[in-house]
Structure 1
Amino acid sequence: MKISEKWLREWIAPKLDARALADRLTMAGLEVGAIEPVAPNLEHVVVGEIVSIAPHPSADKLRLCRVNVGKNKILDIVCGAANAAAGMKAPVALEGAVMPNGMKIKKTEIRGAASSGMLCSASELGIAESSEGLLSLDRDARPGMSITDYLGLDDTTLEIDLTPNRGDCLSVAGLAREVAALTGARIKPPVVKRVSAKARRKVSIKLDAGQDCPRYVGRVISDIDPAAITPLWMKEKLRRSGLRSIHPVVDVTNYVMLELGQHMHAFDLDKLQGAIHVRHAVENESLELLDGKRINPEPGSLLIADDRQPLALAGIMGGLSSAVSDTTHHLFLESAWFRPETISVRARSHGLQTDSSQRFERGVDPELPARAMERATALLLAIVGGKPGPITEQTVRRHLPRVTPVLLRADRIQRLLGMAIPPRIVENILARLGMKLKKSGKNWTVIPPSWRFDISREVDLIEEIARVHGYDKFPSRQPRMAMAARPVPESDVDEPRLRAALVDRDYQEVITYSFVDPKIQAMLDPGVTPLPLANPISADMAVMRTSLWPGLLQAILYNQNRQQTRLRLFELGRRFLARDDDLTQEYVLGGAVSGDATPEQWGAPRRAADFHDVKSDIEALLALAGMDEEAQFRPVRHAALHPGQAAEILYQGQQLGLVGLLHPALQAGLGLSQPAVLFELRLSILQQQKLPVFRDFSRFPAIRRDIAIIVNETTPAQAVLESVRNAAGELLVNLELFDEYRGKGVDSGRKSLALGLTLQHSSRTLNETDVEQVMAEVMSTLESKLGAVPRQ
């Protein structure tokens, strides 16, 4: 929230400068993120009154103005503004003034005519980004008066970052209450008097959705002046709060919102038909909003409607069909209380975040609508005139928030804060916060004010006492705690070891969002239905991930778009699987590799990382867990992976993970410029380390035998290795696949594999008969199970 310091000081004047006030608010939980001047230094810029205007003799678009700048001093100034007119009052930069853009004002000649200053627009003064023509000042502006003094530009704005529970501070009134509680200064709010009705006209109000809108206040104001303009003082306060002036009626409703915290809406009465209905949307309704966007409200969305059509998305944005304009003569004003949950859900579902929804979804004082109506009526009568009708109010009290008394115990305060706070200080703090107290012994029964809907528990009151009393007043003590070493089973492969192993292999860790784009999720894991979010942050973060791959691929794409071509990323995180009305959160290790296999160097040619490079990385992790000998890689079909380069990883009959090249169609669909290899491992299995068992080294010689066999092209090498291990038995101490060949001497559709077998006995020397028996068993098994034949 952004607010003018001067505006705040109209309500309350603590004896603190802007910096000290900001520090006090920040220490109390209302963080002031910035303090900025509202305008640059405008020395030698004064109020001027154009006495007369004459055409420039040498330029059609320029005019010669005689300008009164005070003390009966008349200056000749050449001006090109189209809105310059005799009798108009506007800012004048005198000789010696330095404008915000660095231009220094001096006497000069423009197309042969003398000019002794410059008539200024708002943008030339640095108080608006753009403007058309001169800044027109109000009639009370006195020629010669400093423009800084007249516009009150010796001011700063406070930009306050509020937490979601402090919606009561989204107004000058709310901040003034807070400052009063923190400093003890007295609040001087503007007097809001009841405006008597001058006309009988009113609009009937029907609360068809009283549970979502239990209070609605309306009023008709007839015969306003459509030519009226917003006074400069109001425009300036709006500007300093980050809002632009739109229309006098809209400006007044925005002003009341900033001042009191109650968002209001104004309808053009002539565009309404019949009664006002606060109801839920039904099927096939349409509404064009003020921003020009046409929506089809979901059934159940809260609407403001008349007898004919929807008029506004309640508490979020008005409709274009009933908006006020320069031809509006009669108004219907709305001031209501909407249930925060209703506004929050619908604002997000329609992708709308407005000043109105921001306030209503955080919570607005349910006692405020009638007071805001009286304040807005008084301001409108002063600015646009008109005849107010009677206030019409409809209330469903059972659906209004109920203030519940809270028991506050003195011993509980001391236990939570670590120090005793005297009862008189506790009572003084709570009273300054607007709470009603009833003491009973050492305890109090506390009734929070209607605007503090975030206070419902004893701990909430204690938090209020602590922050108003001042966190800096609490003594600093070293925490006492008993520390006990937690034994970690030796069989656990902890996360730091896994991270270190991957970093050693040139990977970088990333952390991605658990919320992912449902379209990408469906592309990568089409067989699994993800859990949708009820209130997603955005449309591309609408479901919970069922795999780490969506986030990893988004990270790959993000880096590729920034000229990073060699990427090796991994992530440790949870995936979320909906099973039988339950949500399973499984911890997994995922990775994505794209680009060159090794950094560019002179010793080897460049080549892209492939399936086998990543498989090697996975085998290193399996070796860390002692699973490398038993783990098996078997071909698998997966929608996200290349059909010929994908494998599932099995360990003791369980699926440990997946690895494979991203499907080329998905690579193109995601916009990746290079192929990517993906893997994902289940940590619940990977972290169950198989502890090594010591065996004496054999003192007897080992014997190696090499064989070359021919098998079908489709026979996996894994199947060959498993068959050899099973056939060779305990004498086999090492097995290597050292060659694969296709070509001359090998039939089409077949391949040659060369294997090295190392045999050794633990208690004796093997003889030739032993070795031949093992090799014969190996060849017999390969021939019978895989159809292998020896290569001649």
Structure 2
Amino acid sequence: MQFPESWLREFCNPPLNTQELADLLTMAGLEVEEMRPVAPAFSQIVVAEIVEAEQHPNADRLRVCRVDAGPHSKDGPLQIVCGAPNARVGIKVPLALVGAQLPPAEEGGEPFAIKVGKLRGVESFGMLCSARELKLSEDHGGLLELPLDTPVGQNIRDTLNLDDTLFTLKLTPNLGHCLSVYGIAREVSALTGTPLQTPAIPAVAAGHAATLPVTVQDTDLCGRFSGRIVQGVNPKAQTPAWMVERLARCGQRSVSPLVDISNYVMFEYGRPSHIFDLDKIHGGLQVRWARPGETLKLLNGNTVALDEHVGIIADEQAVESLAGIMGGDATAVSDDTRNIYIEAAFWWPAAVAGRSRRFNFSTDAGHRFERGVDAVGTVEHIERITALVQSVCGGVAGPITDTQPAMPARPPVALRVARASKVIGMPVSQAQCAEVFTRLGLPFTEAEGVLTVTPPSWRFDITLEEDLIEEVARVVGFNALPGTPPLAPVTARVREEAQRSSHAVRHALARLGYQETINFSFVEERWETELAGNPNPIKVLNPIAAPLAVMRSSLLGSLVQVLKVNLARKAPRVRVFELGRVFLRDASVASSDSTVAGVHQPMRVAGLAFGPAQPLQWGRADKNVDFFDLKGDLEALLAPHVARFVPAEHPAMHPGRCAAVELRGTVIGHIGEMHPRWRQAYDLPQAPVMFELDLAAVQQRAVPQAQAVPKQQAALRDLALVVQDSVTHDALMAALRADPEGLVRQATLFDIYRPAQATAEVGAGERSLAVRLELLDDNSTLTDERIEASLQAAVARAQAQCGARLRA
């Protein structure tokens, strides 16, 4: 919010200098982000009138002017040589006298001193100035022409009010009531006790009875709609210089008198409004939500597609305006406009919030309406706009129509004085709180220790007791807070021993040679369909880029994209991982501070390996990474837990080279080589190996359990079992370890034998597996008989469950 200090002081003029005023605003929560003078320093520049202008005898583009500078030209008009194209008799312009100091041409340069000069043989006693030479604007098309009633000889700084300061406030979203000069003045008045000057806005007498019918169809969009017809306006009139100047100092360029007046009242009172060309409206107006398929060409030239989430103003034939954001091109005022319709409405903040960003632009009106605009002042602000229109463009006003289908109700908020003292950190009395609310214009009632405030119509930010406590604190003054250290007990958050942190998981993967990546949570829809098997991903309403249109349900697509970026930069070996959140549809999830209704958001950890299994070295043969390399990494990551890898299928992975990762009987993720179809589709020279696991499961770790050192010695026995090729290692080991007596403590495969040709011992489609069994009884020494019986029982289990036989 940018505004000139002089305009603020017209509403409230506290006995503070500029710096003190800036400090006051900042300490009250209205941070002054920037404070700069309207014009740079310069001196001895006065108003002069050109009384003669003749062609220079020796130059086609120069004129010899004689100017009247009032008391500064005691010996008669001063002779000035000027090259400006608009130098002519009768105009009043700035004159830099001999000895004047002009602003430097470049920032940091030296001021430019005016001396008596001679141009093409003709003396010049000063310089006539343009706006650019005075650093007032970039306009260098000619001399800065001043109003004809400007007193000759007056200092130009007084004429143009250049000893003024521009304030730029960095307002937080809860300060929508301060998005106007009057709103800021109201705050200054409350903070300083200086009276607030509220100009009276008299009603404009109606000169005709014409009205425009308006129907508010959706009250959740619009709570109040006011309007008036003004006939016979002159849109070609010139906007007054004082209004152009104030708009410029608020950062708004002049467009046309009707648009300028609307903008001026917006900056003055915070009321966005819109002026329609009445003759371009077909029938009456409808205020409603848009319908799918409707479009609107806006004032900025863009044509936008609308849907049922966007509010509009429409006539009987087409959409004419985006509600609370921007008007349409079809009903815009122009030089041919003769009759206008002035509209001022109250749009619900929730109905306007976020709509501008959907169309990739923002407006001053939308910025205010989505924070809340006073619903009470529509009629009087139309009266203010009408009076300005008549003073500048003429016209005859009609009666104001005012529809109020759903005015906002402001429930009262109670403040406990004791609670306020505790939160603020210093004692405050009930009388102090009452004084604060009185100065802020907040109606309230009192009881013992409690004040109940009914928020006024312009304060959309007061909904909780904490909001009132904040008002007390900032009006009493943050400087008044005592410098006492806070009393806050420090309680260490001790993580369960059975759980490791996400940072520990990151460090573990980094030790295995992986590098962490951080990617967007919104991804291309293609990744979800192909790599996650998710045909119905959660769509992003307002994506930052067109391709990134859905929320991810898997981290694998992001890692594949990271791989492609690395390969494009000739990286031969890639090891990457990511810890991130995924987004899954789940109707059982309710909305809370940390959740969104219908969306489950678990954390996952995923990794990808591509290229050589080891960096280039002399001690090992070069080999590309495969499934078992990554399997070993996962076993190291999950240790001391022992995971099972069970053949499975995954949309992104090779059907025959993919496994589900089981931990304690629960599937926690998948590991596998990329599917050949996707390797070709994503143009990869070879298939990477990937994994994706549930982070919560990976964070679980076994707590060490103390065990006594065995008092007995273990017995080791080797078995050679012949099984079919279809028998898996896990199945055979499980059968051997399933000893009901508990003597078999471990079974380890240490050799595989498959003859080149079938023999009597190992037939076709069979293999011999050499397994070492560890037998132990904690309470007694194993005898040969017990060992032999345990071995025979293990062979019997293997035969029953896996079809194994003992090799001769």
Work out whether the TM-score is over 0.5. yes
Relative distance call for 1:578 and 1:279 in structure 2 (3 A) is closer
SS at match of 2:353: helix
List runs of 5+ in structure 1 lacking aligned partners: 743-749
What corresponds to 2:604 in structure 1?
A: 589
2:410 matches 1:400 = no
What corresponds to 2:80 in structure 1?
A: 75
What corresponds to 1:22 in structure 2?
A: 22
What corresponds to 1:620 in structure 2?
A: 636
| Alignment-mate amino acid for residue 28 of structure 1 | A
Moved more, 566-575 or 279-288: 566-575
Alignment of 1:539-550 (within 5 A): 544-549=551-556
**C-alpha separation in 1, matches of 2:570 and 2:9:** 52
Query: CA offsets per residue over residues 337-371 of structure 1, 9 Å max, x none?
Result: 11222222644554553211111111110111112
Contact 1:590/1:678 (8 A) holds in 2: no
**C-alpha separation in 1, matches of 2:5 and 2:567:** 47
Relative distance call for 1:88 and 1:640 in structure 2 (3 A) is farther
What corresponds to 2:470 in structure 1?
A: 463
Contact 2:587/2:599 (8 A) holds in 1: no
Query: CA offsets per residue over residues 708-736 of structure 1, 9 Å max, x none?
Result: 99998xx89xx446646755884756557
Contact 2:52/2:66 (8 A) holds in 1: yes
2:649 matches 1:650 = no
**C-alpha separation in 2, matches of 1:741 and 1:143:** 116
1:531 CA drift (Å): 4.4
1:671 CA drift (Å): 10
Query: CA offsets per residue over residues 722-751 of structure 1, 9 Å max, x none?
Result: 646755884756557999999xxxxxxx99
**C-alpha separation in 2, matches of 1:306 and 1:50:** 54
**C-alpha separation in 1, matches of 2:180 and 2:6:** 14
**C-alpha separation in 1, matches of 2:242 and 2:686:** 59
Alignment of 1:105-504 (within 5 A): 122=131, 125-128=134-137, 135-142=144-151, 145-282=154-291, 284-299=293-308, 301-344=310-353, 346-383=355-392, 385-396=393-404, 399-480=406-487, 489-504=496-511
**C-alpha separation in 2, matches of 1:181 and 1:490:** 56
| Alignment-mate amino acid for residue 74 of structure 1 | Q
**C-alpha separation in 2, matches of 1:10 and 1:18:** 14
Query: CA offsets per residue over residues 649-670 of structure 1, 9 Å max, x none?
Result: 2223321113456668778988
**C-alpha separation in 1, matches of 2:5 and 2:750:** 78
Query: CA offsets per residue over residues 250-285 of structure 1, 9 Å max, x none?
Result: 111111111101001111222223333323434543
**C-alpha separation in 1, matches of 2:622 and 2:160:** 68
| Alignment-mate amino acid for residue 639 of structure 1 | P
What corresponds to 1:745 in structure 2?
A: none
1:198 CA drift (Å): 4.0
Query: CA offsets per residue over residues 318-343 of structure 1, 9 Å max, x none?
Result: 00011112332332211111122222
What corresponds to 1:8 in structure 2?
A: 8
Relative distance call for 1:777 and 1:325 in structure 2 (3 A) is same
Contact 2:522/2:550 (8 A) holds in 1: yes
Relative distance call for 1:76 and 1:755 in structure 2 (3 A) is farther
Alignment of 1:656-735 (within 5 A): 656-660=668-672, 678-692=690-704, 694=707, 696=709, 719-720=728-729, 723=732, 726-727=735-736, 730=744
Contact 1:77/1:116 (8 A) holds in 2: no
SS at match of 2:583: strand
**C-alpha separation in 1, matches of 2:155 and 2:625:** 71
1:126 CA drift (Å): 4.4
| Alignment-mate amino acid for residue 394 of structure 1 | D
Contact 1:565/1:594 (8 A) holds in 2: no
What corresponds to 1:35 in structure 2?
A: 35
Moved more, 199-208 or 504-513: 504-513
| Alignment-mate amino acid for residue 606 of structure 2 | G
Moved more, 602-611 or 537-546: 602-611
**C-alpha separation in 1, matches of 2:208 and 2:218:** 29
| Alignment-mate amino acid for residue 14 of structure 2 | P
Relative distance call for 1:751 and 1:357 in structure 2 (3 A) is farther
Moved more, 153-162 or 421-430: 153-162
**C-alpha separation in 1, matches of 2:404 and 2:150:** 49
Query: CA offsets per residue over residues 551-602 of structure 1, 9 Å max, x none?
Result: 6667778899999998765554543322345346454232345777799888
1:249 CA drift (Å): 1.2
**C-alpha separation in 2, matches of 1:788 and 1:179:** 95
**C-alpha separation in 1, matches of 2:136 and 2:570:** 41
**C-alpha separation in 2, matches of 1:696 and 1:727:** 24
Contact 2:42/2:101 (8 A) holds in 1: no
**C-alpha separation in 2, matches of 1:43 and 1:754:** 104
TM-score, length-normalised on structure 2? 0.79
**C-alpha separation in 1, matches of 2:654 and 2:88:** 75
Contact 2:96/2:114 (8 A) holds in 1: no
Query: CA offsets per residue over residues 96-137 of structure 1, 9 Å max, x none?
Result: 532246595777788998887776655565454677665544
Relative distance call for 1:430 and 1:134 in structure 2 (3 A) is same
What corresponds to 2:761 in structure 1?
A: none
**C-alpha separation in 2, matches of 1:739 and 1:153:** 98
**C-alpha separation in 2, matches of 1:419 and 1:240:** 41
SS at match of 2:251: coil
What corresponds to 1:747 in structure 2?
A: none
Moved more, 272-281 or 517-526: 517-526
Aligned alpha-carbon RMSD (Å): 5.0
**C-alpha separation in 2, matches of 1:672 and 1:142:** 79
Contact 1:348/1:537 (8 A) holds in 2: no
1:167 CA drift (Å): 1.1
Relative distance call for 1:493 and 1:176 in structure 2 (3 A) is same
Relative distance call for 1:692 and 1:376 in structure 2 (3 A) is same
Contact 2:80/2:123 (8 A) holds in 1: no
Contact 1:215/1:393 (8 A) holds in 2: no
Moved more, 696-705 or 206-215: 696-705
- Equivalenced residue count is 768
Contact 1:725/1:732 (8 A) holds in 2: no
**C-alpha separation in 2, matches of 1:92 and 1:236:** 20
List runs of 5+ in structure 2 lacking aligned partners: 590-597, 739-743, 757-763
SS at match of 2:312: strand
Query: CA offsets per residue over residues 410-454 of structure 1, 9 Å max, x none?
Result: 334334444431233212110111112333444434332221132
1:45 CA drift (Å): 5.7
**C-alpha separation in 2, matches of 1:565 and 1:378:** 74
**C-alpha separation in 2, matches of 1:171 and 1:201:** 32
TM-score, length-normalised on structure 1? 0.80
What corresponds to 1:639 in structure 2?
A: 651
| Correspondent of 1:99 among 105, 109, 125 | 105
Query: CA offsets per residue over residues 673-696 of structure 1, 9 Å max, x none?
Result: 998765332133333323455474
Query: CA offsets per residue over residues 490-515 of structure 1, 9 Å max, x none?
Result: 33334343233234345555666656
1:455 CA drift (Å): 2.0
Relative distance call for 1:271 and 1:490 in structure 2 (3 A) is closer
SS at match of 2:167: strand
Contact 1:438/1:446 (8 A) holds in 2: yes
Contact 1:549/1:590 (8 A) holds in 2: no
